[in-house]
Amino acid sequence: MTRFIAPSILAADFANLGRDIEMVNASEADWFHLDIMDGVFVPNISFGLPVVNAVKKLAKKPLDVHLMIVEPEKYLSRFRDAGADILTVHIETCRHLHRTIEEIKELGMKAGVTLNPHTPAESLQEIISFVDMVLIMSVNPGFGGQQFIETAYDKIRRVESLIRESGTKAMIEVDGGVNLDNAAKLFASGVNILVVGTSVFQANDPRGMIHQLKESGQVKDHRLT
């Protein structure tokens, strides 16, 4: 079973971003996770294409880009050009989700779909066969450092069931409130990728924290599957 760790750049020290990127490069982490917020779909603004491009120049691991924006279909090729390897869009923002997923793939990226905490797993029924990844938000999106929403475990199980029934190889990613207290349980519940922010970047030993998170899930490598 694929099990990855994806540190979230949103929680990095932007005054020392190059240093934090190098830390992730040197660590046992698998992907870089980049949250793009527009202040419209979510109540916060993060960063955009120039930062993605800057991270790509230094990163030695794939960029997992999560678009928390309205009308994401307008920017797919621009995020590809900036360096995204995996591009994830919200089911809540896409008017023509199947078309958007197909375009992401045609642009040469892995395609993911995200569910907010209030969005039921069953909304994936008609798209699950076409995506490479499902991102389950275990906090309300917009800010880091929030508490994990416990009902996410039930959603994980339902998404895993949909994936199994569809016969696809889609992976499950979880973002929000992930730390050492729940990492092992999340992996055991069927999660493949853990997005970790403050628990890594605010740790006294970030690389050591990444190692501990990986040990909890026995993660081995960072290859895209």
- Nearest-Å Rg of the Cα atoms of the chain is 16
Residue 66 lies in a domain: yes
Single out the catalytic residue among 20, 30, 35, 64. Answer: 35
In angstroms, how far is CA 142 from the centroid of its own chain?
Answer: 14
Confidence (pTM): 0.93
Percent of the chain that is helix, strand, coil (3-state, to 5): 40, 20, 40
224 within a domain of the structure (yes/no) = no
Q: Which of 20, 38, 132, 175 does the annotation list as catalytic? A: 175
Q: Per the domain annotation, does 80 fall within a domain?
A: yes
Structural domain count, the chain: 1
Token pair 């997005």 in the structure block, residue: 195
35 is catalytic: yes
38 carries an active-site annotation: no
φ, ψ for residue 67 (rounded to 5)?
Answer: -90, 105
CATH code, domain carrying 99: 3.20.20.70
The answer to whether residue 222 sits within a structural domain is no
Q: Which residue has the tokens 């055991």?
A: 188
Contact of 117 with 148, CB cutoff 8 Å: no
* Ordered per-residue pLDDT tens for the chain, 225 residues: 678 999 999 999 999 999 999 999 999 999 999 999 999 999 899 999 999 999 999 999 999 999 999 999 999 999 999 999 999 999 999 999 999 999 999 999 999 999 999 999 999 999 999 999 999 999 987 666 678 999 999 999 999 999 999 999 999 999 999 999 999 999 999 999 999 999 999 999 999 999 999 998 664 444 444
Q: How far is 126 from 130, CA to CA, in rounded Å? A: 9
| Residue 192, domain extent | 4-217
